[in-house]
Amino acid sequence: MRFISTRDPAHRVNLSTALIQGLSPEGGLYVPERWPAFDFGKLSASDSLSAIAAKFLAPFAETDPLSAQLPEIAAEAFNFSAPLRPVGGSGLLSVLELFHGPTAAFKDFGARFLAASFARLRAGAARPLQILVATSGDTGGAVAAAFHRRAGIEVTVLFPKGLVSPTQQQQLTCWGDNVRSLAVHGTFDECQRLVKEAFLDPQLRTAWELSSANSINLGRLLPQAVYYVATSAAVFRQGCGPASFIIPSGNLGNATACAWARQMGAPIDRIVLAHNANRTVPDFFADGMLRPRPSVATLASAMDVGNPSNLERLRAMFPEMSAIRSALSVVSIEDGAISSRIRADYEHFGVIWCPHTAVAAEAWARLPAAEQQAGPWVLAATAHPAKFSEIVAPLIGKPVPVPENLARLFERPSRFAVIEPTLAALRATLEGRHATV
Ligand SMILES: *Cc1c(COP(=O)(O)O)cnc(C)c1O
């Protein structure tokens, strides 16, 4: 199996190369060259998520150096569950909880798969790998947790000082060992610029092999298809027909993975992209004009994306406007509706949503009754509400219970260095001339 670039179908690489490179050389994103038909009869009700991952991902790793190790990699990445829980009593609505990993967001699956793959691809390498991640909140924590204590790999997380939530900051700074955390005097955009400059810096490139682990890496996307495969197969086995998914979306990695799962034959009906007030994708669906723009800050901050990278993958899959419109639905939800949905569903169903999941719940609530009743509908819950308790607790009028995985992170000491947003400052820190605080 080979992967091609969205910008050059003649550029073909195997899985390992796509993972290590991240982006293809001309700036495109890697996508499978074809869709292997997956035999869903191979899955059984007793399969664990990691067993499903190993079976489903096998065709993508065929003839790749990672092929033999795929079951082990899957076991490391999928070592926590993604339970499906009913919402209300209709039997037609449920929530897929993707937040039971170390940093309580769905990004743990992809980050852990990438880390387990990198650790094997880098075994015996001469130079250490330096992974640079600029983060506005959730990505950095998931990547730091996944790569913590991986031999031969260092991670440097750059986050905008004072602009992440207290829980997010703890998740970015509690690791130590091979993980370095830098609070940058500046915005997320400046963190991202610094990472780009570092990749071009000859001095840094002689000391390290530099890589990124951002969400456009194929190694973060492919594993995300696994929970859609597992969930849709389980719903189908119960005789409920194909499930429709509503996915809180920002950079569209999670939704693209769901579309890939359906393309390979998973019993999935509709896919709804639920965006916040960042309307780039809803506007594109409305008039066919793609107008990237600066992001606006919303309550569902992990979805504040003004130029979603993975739209390029979806457009490669559905080149015609009519095709993309019939394959996917899209909706945009304002902050006011996020807050009232968190309040209403706590009162009505007793469930506590994070602000991102609430975007999906509101998208469902706005469906015409006939469509709701044509279910089964599944809401993807992308983060645990305790990660955003500053927002959620006042809305439901009580503290959000903190799950054990998050509580454990709060027991660890937090350490980070503060740097100016300059390449010289980043270089000095990486070269060890900067003490952490
Ligand atoms: C990253 C993130 C999203 C958006 O996912 P994409 O794959 O970028 O569309 C939604 N919710 C949470 C909690 C996230 O961390």
DSSP letter for each residue of 246-312: EEE-SSSHHHHHHHHHHHTT--EEEEEEEE-S--HHHHHHHHS----------SSGGG--SS-TTHH
Pull the structure tokens for residue 126. 């001469």
389-396 and 335-349 are packed helices; what angle lies between their axes, rounded to 10 degrees? 50
The ligand 1 site (C-beta within 6 Å) comprises 105, 107, 138, 215, 248-255, 302-303, 356, 382-383
Yes or no: say if 32 and 1 are a contact pair by the CB < 8 Å rule: yes
Dihedral, CA atoms, 95, 101, 105, 110, nearest 10 degrees? -100
Q: Residue 85's pLDDT is what?
A: 97
Q: How many CA atoms lie within 13 A of 363 on its CB side?
A: 31
Amino acid sitting at position 255: A
Model's pTM, two decimal places? 0.94
**Sign of CA pseudo-dihedral 204, 17, 79, 150:** negative
Residue among 324, 144, 311, 113 nearest 222 (CA): 113
Classify 94 as helix, strand or coil. strand
DSSP 8-state secondary structure symbol assigned to residue 175: -
Contact status, residue 136 vs residue 188, Cβ threshold 8 Å:
yes
pLDDT at 189: 79
Q: Are 419 and 425 in contact (CB under 8 A)?
A: yes
Structure tokens at 269: 């009906």
What is the distance, to the nearest Å, from the Cα of residue 185 to the centroid of all Cα atoms in its chain? 26
Instruction: Identify the H or E element spanning 30.
Output: strand 30-32
Taking the centre of ligand 1 as the mean of its atom positions, its distance from the CA of residue 278, in whole angstroms, is: 13
Cross-strand bridge partners of residue 86: 94
Q: Collect all residues with Cβ–Cβ distance below 8 Å to 435 and sequence separation of at least 6.
A: 417
Query: Can you give the pLDDT at residue 435?
Result: 46
Alpha-carbon gap, residue 306 to 238, rounded angstroms:
39
Mutate which of 106, 168, 295, 298 for ligand 1? The one with the most ligand atoms within 8 Å of its CB, which is: 106
C-alpha span between 221 and 138 (Å, rounded): 16
Question: Could you tell me if 131 and 143 are in contact, meaning their C-beta atoms sit under 8 angstroms apart?
Answer: yes
- Residues of the chain under the 70 pLDDT cut: 433-437
- How far, in Å, from the CA of 313 to the mean position of ligand 1? 16
- Quick one: pLDDT at residue 433? 60
Which atom number of ligand 1 is nearest to the Cα of residue 252? Answer: 9
Q: How far apart are CA 104 and CA 97, in angstroms?
A: 10
Burial of 373 (0-12, 13-18, 19+ CB in 10 A): exposed
Task: Please answer whether residues 89 and 97 qualify as being in contact, where contact means their C-beta atoms are separated by less than 8 angstroms.
Answer: no
Residue type, 239: G
Identify the three-state secondary structure at position 35.
coil
Contact 216, 253 (CB under 8 A): yes
Neighbours of 401 (CB within 10 A): 11
Query: Cβ of 27: how many Cβ atoms within 10 Å?
Result: 11
- Ligand 1 centroid to Cα of residue 272, in Å, is 14
Residue with the smallest CA separation from ligand 1 atom 14 is 302
- Which of 251, 309, 328 has most ligand 1 atoms within 8 Å of its beta carbon, as the pocket-test mutant? 251
> How is residue 289 written in tokens?
């004009």
What is the predicted pLDDT for the residue at 437? Answer: 42
Separation CA 266–CA 165 (nearest Å): 37
* AA letter at 190: E
pLDDT value for 18: 93
Q: Which of 73, 76, 70 is nearest to 58 (CA)?
A: 70
Q: What is the pLDDT of residue 75?
A: 97
pLDDT reported for residue 22: 86
The alpha-helical segments, DSSP class H, found in 1-106 are 15-21, 49-61, 70-77
Q: How far apart are CA 124 and CA 144, in angstroms?
A: 22
Q: How many CA atoms lie within 13 A of 12 on its CB side?
A: 7
Residue nearest to atom 1 of ligand 1 (CA): 302
* Burial grade of 172 (CB within 10 A; 0-12, 13-18, 19 or more): buried
